[in-house]
């Protein structure tokens, strides 16, 4: 963990950013670190303007006023929280990735298109989350257009439930578990660990789930999980851990768990493929359909 680094939240001027900023402010308070607002102004272009090579300039003064209003609103609700704000023009993905490099956590929003469509598919948030080298939390907004900042903040975008973490018993888990245990401890919440049961199901073999690559005797998933959890349970004795073994598509189980979760934590390989960062199918499902905020934690 990076205890002294700020929580950074990316704002783009959309109404949903208000709820995202409120979630980030609460997280900064939990961590005892400053909050940094990064506002990337949107260009206001008419339909097909880009195809015609026409770019309508942004309104820097209007964007700065919006940023000041958000900062003031957060300051009223969170006295004592150190908040800085910065407006940066340019490519949104590049700016947010650069901002994440100096952050303990980057918080981004989504437009909440619904479970059928997939609320993060193709969005800037998804692109940044797939490439950032720091943990990224994606917050789904249920706020309604027309609310002011204070009323938007009152919309319950999270629940008081457990932190849920998906664990791949065949892959690295320490970075993911460290984030999940820390998040649960700060919230005074329980931690639900979702993992494969080791049974053959839907194309996932018991060998894959237990991490045994042939030849040797299989290790029971329960033993592997106990070994993974033991050092983190020793470090966070205040966190109550519940284990949930699942059969079949792990992504769908995590999505189900997110309905009552305070936060869903999943891992993402930090290495990049030739065509860019890759997100596995379980994480992809969480990004598309989870109803709670989703934390993507990069790991080696």
Same domain, 249 and 232: yes
Same domain, 204 and 296: yes
- Give the residue from 197, 158, 188, 139 showing the smallest Cα distance to 17: 139
Q: What is the DSSP string of 171-229?
A: S--HHHHHHHHHHHHHHT--EEEEEE-SS-BTTB-HHHHHT--SSSPPPPHHHHHHHHH
Find the CATH number of the domain harbouring 79. Answer: 3.40.50.620
- pLDDT tens for the chain, 300 residues long, are 556 899 999 987 665 678 889 999 999 999 999 999 999 876 544 444 444 444 444 555 656 888 888 999 999 999 999 999 999 988 889 999 999 999 999 999 875 444 433 344 446 887 888 899 999 999 886 544 445 545 444 444 445 799 999 988 877 789 999 999 999 999 999 999 998 765 543 333 333 334 444 445 566 778 888 999 999 999 999 999 999 888 777 788 899 999 999 999 998 876 655 445 567 788 888 888 888 999 999 987
DSSP state of 151: H
pLDDT at position 61? 62
Last residue of a domain, one of 128, 157, 186: 157
User: Cα 114 vs. chain centroid, distance in angstroms?
Assistant: 17
Show the tokens assigned to 3.
Answer: 């205890």
DSSP state of 29: H
- Cα separation of 74 and 84, whole Å? 11
Q: Is 188 exposed, middle or buried (0-12, 13-18, 19+ CB in 10 A)?
A: exposed
Q: What is the DSSP string of 253-287?
A: HHHHHHTT-SEEEEEEE-SEETTEE---HHHHHHH
Same domain, 248 and 217: yes
Find the CATH number of the domain harbouring 254. Answer: 3.40.50.12370
Same domain, 227 and 133: no
> ∠ at Cα 180 (112, 92), nearest 5°?
45
Sheet holding 163-166, edge to edge: 83-87, 35-39, 7-11, 105-110, 136-140, 294-299, 263-269, 163-166, 191-196, 241-246
Same domain, 151 and 227: no
Gyration radius of the chain's alpha carbons = 20
Same domain, 144 and 81: yes
Same domain, 114 and 237: no
Range of the domain at 266: 158-300
Same domain, 180 and 45: no
Same domain, 179 and 228: yes
- Tracing tokens 């973490």 back to the chain, one arrives at 165
Same domain, 199 and 278: yes
- Cα separation of 196 and 57, whole Å? 51
Last residue of a domain, one of 138, 157, 176: 157
Same domain, 149 and 164: no
Same domain, 64 and 90: yes
pLDDT at position 176? 94
Last residue of a domain, one of 124, 141, 157: 157
**Euclidean distance between the first and the last CA atom of the chain, given in angstroms as a whole number:** 15
Q: Report the number of distinct structural domains present in the chain.
A: 2
User: Cα–Cα distances in Å, from 181 out to 118, 170, 241, 265?
Assistant: 28, 20, 9, 10
């Amino acid at each position: 963990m990076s205890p002294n680094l700020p929580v950074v939240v990316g704002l783009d001027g959309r109404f949903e950013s208000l709820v995202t900023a409120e979630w980030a402010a609460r997280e900064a308070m939990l961590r005892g670190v400053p909050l940094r607002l990064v506002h990337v102004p949107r260009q206001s272009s008419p339909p097909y303007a880009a195809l015609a090579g026409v770019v309508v300039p942004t309104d820097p003064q209007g964007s700065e006023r919006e940023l000041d209003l958000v900062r003031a609103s957060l300051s009223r609700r969170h006295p004592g929280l150190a908040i800085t704000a910065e407006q940066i023009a340019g490519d949104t993905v590049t700016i947010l990735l650069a901002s994440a490099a100096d952050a303990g956590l980057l918080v981004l929003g989504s437009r909440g298109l619904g479970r059928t469509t997939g609320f993060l598919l193709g969005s800037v948030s998804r692109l940044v989350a797939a490439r950032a080298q720091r943990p990224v939390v994606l917050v789904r907004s249920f706020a309604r257009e027309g609310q002011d900042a204070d009323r938007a903040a009152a919309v319950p975008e999270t629940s008081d439930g457990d932190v849920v973490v998906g664990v791949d018993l065949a892959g690295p888990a320490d970075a993911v578990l460290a984030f999940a245990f820390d998040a649960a401890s700060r919230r005074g919440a329980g931690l639900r660990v979702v993992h494969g049961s080791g049974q053959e199901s839907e194309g996932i073999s018991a060998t894959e789930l237990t991490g045994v690559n042939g030849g040797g005797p299989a290790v029971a998933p329960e033993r592997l999980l106990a070994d993974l959890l033991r050092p983190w349970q020793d470090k966070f004795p205040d966190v109550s851990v519940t284990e949930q073994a699942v059969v079949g598509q792990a992504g769908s189980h995590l999505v189900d768990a997110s309905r009552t979760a305070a936060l869903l934590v999943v891992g993402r390989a930090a290495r990049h493929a030739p065509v860019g960062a890759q997100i596995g199918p379980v994480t992809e499902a969480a990004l598309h359909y989870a109803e709670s905020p989703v934390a993507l934690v990069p790991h080696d």
